[in-house]
Amino acid sequence: MKSIVLSSVVMALLVFSGCSTKKPAVDTKTEQVTAPAAQEVKAVSTETVSGENTQIASSTNETNSNELSANAIESKLPTIYFDFDKYNIKPNMQEKIDAAAKVGKTGAKSFNIKLEGNCDEWGSDEYNFALGLKRANAVKKALVADGVDASRISMVSYGESNPVCTEHTKECWAKNRRVNFKLLP
């Protein structure tokens, strides 16, 4: 009888102590991220075409030239690489950030800049998304320090989901720890 009572008490303690009433710790530090400034929408230009002579509207040509110039400017923007499990900017990458800031202040001043944070395959998905965002934020802070308007910069993290190299080597993993620049209209 004693053993039944004792085992019942032990089981009750195990059941009740197994469920924690602690709330998860939440990081209360918040950084204010500003959204890109609202852009004005251009009026649509229309053209009446009659007969067999059809032409492309002039607004289409403007769009194509903007896309070409955005692609040309984007090709001048470097990729910023990071060490394993780090989001601080290495001294040899600072020159690339300075060059990107110069392009951002001159050739790309009519575009918004999107920073895409990426990671290698090590770590959980949640951890890598957070690390990619920290990397993008470090580049944003460096660009703002170099004189690029913070309201023109947006950030996104792809974590490990956007690799440029899929081999399982140290060299390949190093290529995936990066921040890419994209230009937005």
Give the model confidence (pLDDT) of 47-75 as tens digits: 444 444 444 444 444 444 445 577 888 88
Q: Using CA atoms, how far apart are residues 140 and 94, in angstroms rounded to an integer?
A: 12
Name the average pLDDT for the chain.
Answer: 77
With beta carbons less than 8 A apart as the criterion, state whether 117 and 68 touch: no
Handedness of CA 87, 89, 90, 96 (dihedral sign): positive
Please give the residue range of the domain that contains residue 133: 83-179
| Beta carbons of 156 and 117 less than 8 angstroms apart | yes
Exposed/middle/buried for residue 17 (C-beta within 10 Å: 0-12, 13-18, 19+): exposed
Tell me the three-class secondary structure of 124-161, residue by residue.
Answer: CHHHHHHHHHHHHHHHHHHHHHCCCCHHHEEEEEEECC
CA distance linking residue 70 with residue 85, whole number of Å: 32
pLDDT tens-digit map of 114-129: 999 999 888 898 999 9
Q: Establish if 142 belongs to a structural domain.
A: yes
In a domain, 3, yes or no: no
* Total tally of structural domains belonging to the chain: 1
pTM of this structure: 0.61
Q: Please report whether residue 160 resides in a domain.
A: yes
Q: At what angle do helices 91-105 and 125-145 cross, to 10 degrees?
A: 60
What pLDDT, in 10s, does the model give residues 93-116? 999 999 899 888 887 778 899 999
pLDDT interval class at 6 (50, 70, 90):
confident
Task: Kindly report the three-state secondary structure assignment for every residue of 97-118.
Answer: HHHHHHHHHCCCCCCEEEEEEE
Which CATH number fits the domain that encloses residue 121? Answer: 3.30.1330.60
In a domain, 30, yes or no: no
Q: Are 108 and 128 in contact (CB under 8 A)?
A: no
Query: Do the domain assignments include residue 107?
Result: yes
Q: Does residue 16 belong to any structural domain of this protein?
A: no
pLDDT band at 79 (very low <50, low <70, confident <90, very high): very high
Percent of the chain at pLDDT above 70?
Answer: 69
Angle CA 88–89–91, to nearest 5: 130
What's the pLDDT at 123?
86
**What's the pLDDT score for residue 68?**
54
Q: How many C-alpha atoms does 114 have within 13 Å on its Cβ side?
A: 10
Average pLDDT score over residue span 159-175:
90
The answer for 60, left when phi > 0, alpha when psi is -120 to 50, beta otherwise, is alpha
